Amino acid sequence: MRKCFLLLFAATLAGSVGAGPSQADVRPPAAGSAPELRAWGANNVGAGDTSTPMVPSMPKVADPAAIAAAVQELGGINGVALACGQKEVVTYAKTLMIMRVPKTREYGEIFEKATNDGFLSQSVSRKPCPKRATAVAQLETAARPLPAAPSHQAITETAAPAVGVNPRYLLQDTNGRAFMDSDYHGRFQLITFGYTFCPDICPTTLIEMAEVLKLLGADAARLQPIFVSVDPERDTLDVLRTYTGFFDNRILGATASPELVRRTADNFKVRYEKVSEPGAAPLQYSVDHSAGMYLLGPRGEFITKFGYATPVADVAARIREYMAQAPLAPAERGGPSR
């Protein structure tokens, strides 16, 4: 049952990215596709090269029991939507979970069980499927007890760095194993930086990364996508594994000690900084960070940076061109796995 649900959800991630009514600091626009989501992100997270943070609106404190009840309701609606083939509703339910629900194993299990129950109930009863607008309204109602997502600002660069990127890193994968850039020599690497509490930029980027893998088809085996968390204090290995799995199981979540993460970010010319309100709890903050995806070649060399909101088709096409210019390695190294 668990495998069935995960496969069904994985299939939806490559489809349209839809959502309910617009609320700029919380969710993407209604009934859109990935390009619309990118446009929404670009319009609402700020643009230009700036290190001046936008003070976030921190999430309200919610009762754990109320959160659990809301998560169970979201899961039930998600299961019905899965059974009815409503990809936009499923994606919006997952977006609410990513952006609004504290990332704990307990809430994840509640959501998964409720999703399975909803899916089976709808499949067995063969009741008429609710209209999309009705399902979205149900999700909105169910999410009301949840804390609001913190807003944050992307530190975006208008152009890829031409020089100065040192594509070296030493990180830890979600299985707790140390790995470095040379472990993937023989394959291309597509690397992005962010954090799991990120309300907009990171989910958008990882949706795009998953779409790139789909567009590459069989050539995706020559590419290792990596999501590096710049928030090691909150992004535990279990949290990272679950988060990246929402988008595509081939995306490797990675982090390390604050010192190693900072060194890696500096090597890639990535900037990030915590932002919190005065008097906020120690772990109640957002992180402004550079956006975009970095492409490394099969020798570990830096090739280019794809700026935030670069069309997915363009990213996939350019990666395919680089692959065509690089000979296939006689034996690819596997590197660490999820």
Three-state SS annotation for the chain? CHHHHHHHHHHHHCCCCCCCCCECCCECCCCCCHHHHHHHHHHHCCCCCCCCCCCCCCCCCCCHHHHHHHHHHHHHHHHHHHHHCCHHHHHHHHHHHHHHCCCCHHHHHHHHHHHHHHHHHHHHHCCCCCCHHHHHHHHHHHCCCCCCCCCCCEECCCCCCCCCCCCCCEEEECCCCEEEHHHHCCCEEEEEEECCCCCCHHHHHHHHHHHHHHHHHHHHHHEEEEEEECCCCCCCHHHHHHHHHHHCCCCEEEECCHHHHHHHHHHCCCCEEEECCCCCCCCCCEEEEECCEEEECCCCCEEEEECCCCCHHHHHHHHHHHHHHCCCCCCCCCCCCC
**122 and 170, same domain (yes or no):** no
Domain boundary among 142, 164, 187: 142
Judgement on whether residues 162 and 308 belong to the same structural domain of the protein: yes
Q: Give a yes or no: residue 47 inside a domain.
A: no
Can you give the pTM of this predicted structure? 0.60
Tell whether 164 is covered by a domain.
yes
User: How far is it, in rounded angstroms, from Cα 13 to Cα 118?
Assistant: 19
Structural domain tally of the chain?
2
Mean pLDDT by 10 residues, the chain (338 residues): 40 35 33 38 34 37 85 94 89 82 85 92 91 89 80 52 81 95 96 87 89 96 96 91 90 96 94 84 84 94 91 95 82 56
In a domain, 272, yes or no: yes
Within this chain, do residues 173 and 310 fall inside the same structural domain, yes or no? yes
Of 89, 116, 142, the one marking the end of a domain is: 142
Kind of pairing, strands 154-155 and 286-290? parallel
Positive or negative torsion for Cα 98, 102, 104, 109: negative
The answer to the question of residue 44 being in a domain is no
For residue 336, is it within any domain? Answer: no
Together in a domain, 132 and 261: no
In terms of domains, do 207 and 133 share one? no
Residue ending a domain, choose from 84, 119, 142: 142
**Residue 41 within a domain:** no
User: Range of 159's domain?
Assistant: 154-325
